Amino acid sequence: MKKVYGTKLYVPSRAWLQALAAFCLIISAHAASAPEAMGAMLPVADVAGPSHSTAAREDSFSKTAMAETMAVIKEAAAASGLELLRIGHSSENTPDGNSLRIDCGFASFSLLGFCDFMDTLGEELKGMDAGLVSFSAVAESRTARAAATDGPARKGVLKVYTISLSLMHQAPGEKRKLDFDPSLITEYSTILRYCSSRYEISSALLSEHSGELALGGNFSLKGTKKSLIDFMKGLGRGFDIAEKGYGAHQNQLLMPFLMRVYFPKN
Amino acid sequence: MNKKSYGFLFISLVSFFIFIIVFDNKNLYAQTSAGDEASVCRDYLDRIKIAAAGLSVNISNEKCAISRDAHGDERLFFEASAGFLEAPELFRFLDALFEKAVTAPSEIAAIDAAPPEKHGGSHACVFSFIKGRASKYAADTRGSHFQAFKKAVAAASSEYNLKLSRFYYLRNGRIDLEGASRSLDGILAFIDHLAAYQAVEKFSCVNIDKKYDARARQFYYRFQISAALY
């Protein structure tokens, strides 16, 4: 410390000022190398990084759309007489968060109930960027006890359709197009309803990758190949029918067939 | 430079180095010996038992370990098992432990409640928490995550009549609930409730399956819901 000439004031000497400056430089360098210490003083939202309003919007869509879509599926199944066996969603199937995929399983004594379900679902999802991705309906023979449902008691061997279905629901404003046209659900229902009432359909599968609808059934006097070809004209992008020999069941001649219907993809 | 300047310079430098050593100290108990660490562990383990006293919660398998996080900072890790009959009793105990600052944890690591092994037996919950340098942990999210988890479990059992068999909370805000219900409507209503809940960021997994109870001769629905919290 040195005294200012002519006064009683003392000012720091040069060495003292240099030591003070070095102290301040070292403290600031240490603080710069410990960002977490600084971050702990900030609100959590700022520490997390830039605003994630877009991500929050996508997550909000996925959780609310999932709850609503599950409720729609449950109501449609109850109205159509389908027994809901399982329903589920996993974010692994839709990692981007902009779309929602729900898988469900049903049991039904008749494919007509499944057609009613598709019609109801098509109405509920109209206007939304949502629709069927794939489904499979396979007929199984079960004893009355194994086929117990909430409905009235039945006897003997029953034919029960085990149905699996996947729905995709896309966030509004999503630019990426779905692989399928959501309005095709009406066409699937029309074809399945006609065929199930005439041709003893044993299996119906909609492929997710190719968009093909494959139906396995039997021609008979009740439902002939000609009537099927006449019905299918104008539906889908095209179809082909492959017959697989013939057989007899309960004094009735049956001719198994496999029909594939092609639909356009986006 | 005179003697007074040298004196001020020397004192400043000594004070600076002492400050740096204390500020940059990564050892949580640098000023204490190994014997003091054991007494701190015993003290917190006693607090866990004190919090359970008077409640129908049985504490067992208490553990305390000193570990280091990714930054090399020391922290104390506590884990214990709690046997309980009803979820409200467990949360009363956890409230006493966490919220009323009996232990004031830096972070709740996990809460995992499993169904009883025998019919009519008590549930077993394994919970763990961490005591460390509080500045490193986001104190706001710790409290809100636990509250959100508690509200979800309470809503499931009291508002929607769901029988929870397992509920699970993991640090960083992950929750998992498993249970059963006679009514699918109740499960879907609960999912709707969680979807509307601000604390829930998104659902990781939702599965509902229809099962048949041969003993009661009734159908029921089993569910599993996993969600992430903000």
pLDDT at residue A219 is higher than 60: yes
Q: What is the mean pLDDT of residues B55-61?
A: 85
Q: What is the mean pLDDT of residues A27-38?
A: 50
pLDDT at residue A185 is higher than 80: yes
Report pLDDT for B184: 93
Contacts of A23 in chain B (CB under 8 A): 12-13, 16
Q: Does B26 touch chain A (CB under 8 A)?
A: no
Which of the residue ranges A249-258, B119-128, B186-195 has the most confident prediction, judged by mean pLDDT? B186-195
Report pLDDT for A161: 93
CA distance linking residue A96 with residue A168, whole number of Å: 13
Report pLDDT for A213: 93
Neighbours of B230 (CB within 10 A): 18
Say if the Cβ atoms of A26 and B203 lie within 8 Å.
no
Cβ–Cβ under 8 Å, residues A104 and A164: yes
pLDDT at residue B44 is higher than 90: no
pLDDT at residue B225 is higher than 90: yes
Report pLDDT for A209: 82
Contacts of A70 in chain B (CB under 8 A): 188, 191, 206
Report pLDDT for B103: 64
The model carries a pTM of: 0.73
Report pLDDT for A119: 92
List the single residue in B with minimal CA-CA distance to A57: B201
Instruction: Report the mean per-residue pLDDT for chain A.
Output: 77
Rounded to 5 degrees, what angle do the CA atoms B137, B138, B144 make? 130
Q: Is the dihedral of CA A131, A134, A139, A144 positive or negative?
A: negative
Cβ–Cβ under 8 Å, residues A69 and A130: yes
CA distance linking residue B162 with residue B221, whole number of Å: 10
Binned at pLDDT 50, 70 and 90, residue A8 comes out as low
Q: Does B65 touch chain A (CB under 8 A)?
A: no
Say which residue, B166 or B48, is predicted with more confidence. B166
pLDDT at residue B186 is higher than 70: yes
Q: Does B195 touch chain A (CB under 8 A)?
A: yes
Of B203, B229, B94, B226, which is closest to residue A44 (Cα–Cα)? Answer: B229
Neighbours of B144 (CB within 10 A): 17
**Percentage of chain B exceeding pLDDT 90:** 21
CA distance linking residue A108 with residue A140, whole number of Å: 10
Report pLDDT for A178: 63
Q: What is the mean pLDDT of residues A199-221?
A: 89
Of B2, B206, B209, the CB nearest to A66: B206
pLDDT at residue B78 is higher than 80: yes
Report pLDDT for A120: 92
Q: Which residues pair with B170 in a beta bridge?
A: B110, B174
Neighbours of A69 (CB within 10 A): 24
pLDDT at residue B92 is higher than 70: yes
Q: Please list, in sequence order, all residues whose beta carbon lies within 8 angstroms of the beta carbon of residue A47, skipping any fewer than 6 positions away.
A: A39, A40, B138
Neighbours of B116 (CB within 10 A): 14
pLDDT, tens digit, for every residue of A107-129?
999 999 999 999 999 888 877 77
pLDDT at residue B7 is higher than 90: no
Report pLDDT for B210: 95
Numbers of helices and strands, H then E, in chain B? 5, 8
Say if the Cβ atoms of B6 and A97 lie within 8 Å.
no
pLDDT at residue A97 is higher than 50: yes
A-interface mutation test, from B24, B145, B188, B219, most A Cβ less than 10 A away: B188
Q: Please list, in sequence order, all residues whose beta carbon lies within 8 angstroms of the beta carbon of residue A124, skipping any fewer than 6 positions away.
A: A72, A76
Contacts of A71 in chain B (CB under 8 A): 188, 192
